[in-house]
Amino acid sequence: MSAFWGMNPEQVREHADTCTYGIDRLDTMRGTLEGIVRSVSWTGPDHDEFVARWDEISTGILAAAVTDLQARADRLRIEADEQDDVSAEGGGWFNQLVEAVAEALDRWRERLTEAIDQIGNGVRDAWDAATDFVGGLISDGIGWASDRIDDAIDWASDRIGEAKDWWASDPLNLDRPWMEILTDEIALPVLEGADAVVRGAGDLFGQDWAIISQQPEVEVGDPRQVTDQQAPQSLEDLILNNDETRRTIATEPPHEYNDSAEAQVRVQTIRGEDGVERYIVHVPPTQGADLPSGPGDAWDRLQQYDSQGQPFGWPNNIYAMAGRENSGANAVKEAMEAAGVPAGADVMFVGHSQGGLVASQLAGDPSFNNSSGEPGSYNVTDSFSVGSPVQTNRPAQDSTQVLNISHTKGAEHGGDFVPALDGGGRSFANPGGHPRPNVHDIEFGTPTPAYPVDSDMHAAHESVQRDPNNLATIDPHSGYYGTVANNGDHPALRAQHDRVDGRYIGPGVQIVDDVVVDAWRK
DSSP 369: B
> Do residues 58 and 144 lie in contact, with contact meaning Cβ atoms separated by under 8 Å?
no
> In the beta sheet, which residues pair with residue 280?
268, 348
Scored b (16 or more CB within 10 A) or e, 361-371 reads bbbbbeebbbe
At residue 519, the pLDDT reads: 97
pLDDT at 515: 98
Peptide bond into 253 cis (omega under 30): yes
Among left, alpha and beta (phi > 0; psi -120 to 50; other), residue 304 is alpha
Residue-level pLDDT at 502 = 97
What stretches of 298-455 show up as alpha helix (H) in DSSP?
A: 298-307, 314-321, 327-338, 354-363
Kindly report the CA angle at 230 between 377 and 384, in degrees rounded to 5?
Answer: 45
Task: List pLDDT tens digits, range 77-89.
Answer: 777 777 666 544 4
Per-residue pLDDT tens for 440-469?
Answer: 999 999 999 999 888 888 899 999 999 999
Could you tell me whether strands 470-474 and 218-220 are parallel, antiparallel, or unpaired per DSSP bridges?
A: unpaired
Determine the pLDDT at residue 142: 45
DSSP H helix total and E strand total for the chain:
14, 12
pLDDT value, residue 138: 42
Phi, psi dihedrals of residue 115, rounded to the nearest 5°: -65, -40
Per DSSP, which regions of 334-486 are E strands?
Answer: 346-352, 379-386, 401-408, 439-445, 466-467, 470-474
CA 197/CA 184 separation, integer angstroms: 19
Going residue by residue through the chain (522 aa), what tens digit of pLDDT does each one get? Answer: 334 344 577 777 777 777 777 777 777 777 777 776 676 666 777 677 777 777 777 677 667 777 777 777 777 777 777 766 654 444 444 455 555 555 555 655 565 555 555 555 554 554 454 444 444 444 444 454 455 555 555 666 665 666 666 556 655 566 677 788 788 878 888 888 888 887 788 788 777 777 776 679 999 999 999 999 999 999 999 999 999 999 999 999 999 999 989 999 999 999 999 999 999 999 999 998 765 555 666 656 566 666 678 999 888 888 998 888 999 999 999 999 999 999 999 999 999 999 999 999 999 999 999 999 999 999 999 999 999 998 767 899 999 999 999 999 887 888 999 998 888 878 776 777 766 788 899 999 999 999 988 888 889 999 999 999 999 999 999 999 999 999 999 999 999 999 999 999 999 999 999 999 999 998
Query: CA-CA distances (angstroms) from residue 37 to 88, 394, 426?
Result: 52, 66, 64
Which pTM does this prediction carry?
0.67
Element (H, E) at 279: strand 277-283
